[in-house]
Copies of this chain bind each other. A is one copy, B any other.
Amino acid sequence: MALTQWSIVSLLLILSIKVKPISTFQSIIQMTPEKETLLAAEGISGKRRGVDLYCESWKFTVETNDAGSWTRIPERCCDFVKEYVTGERYVSESEAVADNEVAYAKSLGFSGDGKNAWVFDIDETLLSNVPYYAVHGFGTGDSKSEIWFLGDNDRENQKRETRSEIFDEVSFDNWVDLAEAPALSASLRLYRELQELGFTIFLLTGRSEFQRNATESNLLYAGYTNWKRLILRGDSDQGKLASVYKSEKRKEIEDEGYIIRGNSGDQWSDLMGFAVAKRSFKLPNPLYFIA
């Protein structure tokens, strides 16, 4: 996906912020789920059957892009999403996608000229911001807490409001500066596999240039190394839809003679538009939508 500065800031603004400190951010995404979480992740709580069926169906429409542009998780599905992103199903679905990607990558026979490229998004693709959302949205244990997010389409409308919320912006900068977002383990496995197979790796994110250093630090901290290029939004990219900005950047990669064999992202806007990869892989993300 393409987290933009203002989108992130908007998130902070809107979340029911009840910060509950946790010892280590990165422990959350890969923690062993407690029994209750496990059960809930599979929709096992009998009394919540109807809600889970509703939320399961809502997730279907989000992951297939049927829902189109959406700005907030349905209130009744906040627990469902919390349990999903902190439970084993998120891990399992991500691993299943990585399995598809590895199988595809291995099936390709190509020469070792370095021109075979793979494009990765960063947030919720290589790195997980779930620890951040956990603190600001669902880490409170408050079942009424709402987790929602504004897509790029809504950025302009929210800027004024956003700018009046200094605290949220500070909180966001702190999170980025921490550079401690953990790797999505399935993606790290894929990344290393692709390097062994000889792919040239491009990182294409909606983050902005001013976040380059923190982003690089975070990627290294999470275990990613030796990418060919990290592409962030420059001044001229601000305000563009993610699907347009990312298509333009893919086109530039192609114009340099690369063949984009694969593209991994958690948003359809990471994958669609023009100069699309030979195969695109949609990772799960029921947390937010970016146009």
A residues in contact (CB < 8 Å) with B: 38, 42-44, 46, 49, 52-54, 56-58, 60-61, 63-68, 88-89, 92-93, 95-97, 99-101, 104, 279, 281-282, 284
CB-contact partner of A89 in B46, B56, B64, B66, under 8 A: B56
User: Knowing that A63-B63, A64-B97, A68-B279 are A-B contacts, what are 18 other residue pairs whose CB atoms are under 8 Å apart, sorted by A's residue number?
Assistant: A42-B42, A42-B44, A44-B44, A44-B46, A53-B88, A56-B89, A57-B92, A57-B95, A57-B96, A60-B63, A60-B93, A61-B97, A61-B100, A66-B96, A66-B100, A66-B101, A68-B100, A68-B104
Q: Looking at the assembled complex, report how far the CB atom of A155 sits from the nearest CB atom of chain B, in whole angstroms.
A: 21
With A42-B42, A43-B43, A44-B42 known as contacts, the answer to whether A282 contacts B64 (CB < 8 A) is yes
When C-beta atoms are compared, the residue in chain B nearest to A48 turns out to be B42
Q: Looking at the assembled complex, report how far the CB atom of A160 sits from the nearest CB atom of chain B, in whole angstroms.
A: 26
Contacts of A58 in B (CB 8 A): 96
Contacts of A92 in B (CB 8 A): 53-54, 56-57
When C-beta atoms are compared, the residue in chain B nearest to A96 turns out to be B57
Q: Looking at the assembled complex, report how far the CB atom of A261 sits from the nearest CB atom of chain B, in whole angstroms.
A: 13
Chain A interface, DSSP helix/strand/loop, else mixed: helix
Q: Looking at the assembled complex, report how far the CB atom of A121 sits from the nearest CB atom of chain B, in whole angstroms.
A: 14
Q: Is the CB of B93 within 8 A of A56?
A: yes
Q: Looking at the assembled complex, report how far the CB atom of A72 sits from the nearest CB atom of chain B, in whole angstroms.
A: 15
Q: Looking at the assembled complex, report how far the CB atom of A225 sits from the nearest CB atom of chain B, in whole angstroms.
A: 25
Contacts of A68 in B (CB 8 A): 100, 104, 279
Q: Is the CB of B100 within 8 A of A282?
A: no
When C-beta atoms are compared, the residue in chain B nearest to A107 turns out to be B68
With A52-B42, A92-B53 known as contacts, the answer to whether A60 contacts B284 (CB < 8 A) is yes
Q: Is the CB of A93 within 8 A of B63?
A: no
Contacts of A57 in B (CB 8 A): 89, 92-93, 95-96
Q: Is the CB of B65 within 8 A of A282?
A: yes
Q: Looking at the assembled complex, report how far the CB atom of A200 sits from the nearest CB atom of chain B, in whole angstroms.
A: 22
Ranked nearest first, the 9 interchain pairs of A and B with the lowest CB-CB distance are: A57-B96, A42-B43, A64-B282, A57-B92, A57-B93, A60-B93, A66-B100, A66-B97, A61-B96
Q: How far is the CA of A65 from the CA of B58 in the complex (A)?
A: 18
Q: How far is the CA of A12 from the CA of B70 in the complex (A)?
A: 41
Q: Looking at the assembled complex, report how far the CB atom of A188 sits from the nearest CB atom of chain B, in whole angstroms.
A: 18
When C-beta atoms are compared, the residue in chain B nearest to A87 turns out to be B53
With A52-B42, A57-B95 known as contacts, the answer to whether A281 contacts B66 (CB < 8 A) is yes
25 contacts between A and B (CB under 8 A): A42-B49, A42-B53, A42-B56, A43-B43, A43-B44, A44-B44, A54-B92, A56-B89, A56-B93, A57-B96, A58-B96, A60-B93, A60-B284, A61-B93, A61-B96, A61-B99, A61-B100, A63-B64, A64-B282, A65-B282, A66-B97, A66-B100, A66-B282, A67-B100, A68-B279
